[in-house]
Amino acid sequence: MGMTLTEKILARAAGRSSVQPGENIWVSVDLLMTHDVCGPGTIGVFKREFGADAKVWDKEKIVLIPDHYIFTSDERANRNVDILREFAAEQNIKYFYDIIDRANFKANPDYKGVCHVALAQEGHTRPGEVLFGTDSHTCNAGAFGQFATGIGNTDAAFIMGTGKLLVKVPATMRFILDGELPPYLLAKDLILQIIGDISVSGANYRTMEFTGTAVDAMSMEERMTLCNMVIEAGGKNGTIAPDQTTFDYVRARTDKPFEPVYTDADASFYSSWHCDVSKLEPVVAQPHSPDNRALARECKDVKIDRVYIGSCTGGKTSDFLHAAKILKGNTVKVPTYIVPATQKVYEDLFTVKHEGQTLSEILLAAGCIEPAAPSCAACLGGPKDTFGRLNEPEVCVSTTNRNFPGRMGNKQAQIYLASPYTAAASALTGHVTDPREFM
How far is the C-alpha of 145 from the C-alpha of 129, rounded, in Å?
A: 8
Q: Is the pTM value of this prediction over 0.75?
A: yes
Pairing state between β 164-168 and 24-28 = antiparallel
- The 10s digit of each residue's pLDDT in 134-160 is 999 999 999 999 999 999 999 999 999
N- to C-terminal Cα separation, the chain: 48
Given CA atoms 35, 31, 243, 12 in this order, what sign does their dihedral have? negative
- The 10s digit of each residue's pLDDT in 368-415 is 999 999 999 999 999 999 999 999 999 999 999 999 999 999 999 999
User: Taking residues 71-98, what's their average pLDDT?
Assistant: 97
How far is the C-alpha of 215 from the C-alpha of 226, rounded, in Å?
A: 9
- The 10s digit of each residue's pLDDT in 209-264 is 999 999 999 999 999 999 999 999 999 999 999 999 999 999 999 999 999 999 99
Q: Which band of pLDDT confidence, cut at 50, 70 and 90, is reported for residue 1? A: confident
- Check pLDDT > 90 for residue 331: yes
- Are 397 and 269 in contact, with CB atoms under 8 Å apart? no
Share of the chain above pLDDT 70, in %: 100
Question: Following DSSP, what letter does each residue of 66-107 receive, concatenated?
Answer: --SS-SS--HHHHHHHHHHHHHHHHHT-SEE-----TT-GGG
Position 434, amino acid: D
Share of the chain above pLDDT 90, in %: 100
How far is the C-alpha of 173 from the C-alpha of 192, rounded, in Å?
A: 16
- The 10s digit of each residue's pLDDT in 108-131 is 999 999 999 999 999 999 999 999
- Are 102 and 115 in contact, with CB atoms under 8 Å apart? no
Using alpha carbons only, give the angle 431, 334, 439 rounded to the nearest 5 degrees.
55
How far is the C-alpha of 180 from the C-alpha of 279, rounded, in Å?
A: 9
- Residue 69 three-state SS: coil
How far is the C-alpha of 208 from the C-alpha of 170, rounded, in Å?
A: 10
pLDDT at 407: 97
How far is the C-alpha of 82 from the C-alpha of 84, rounded, in Å?
A: 5
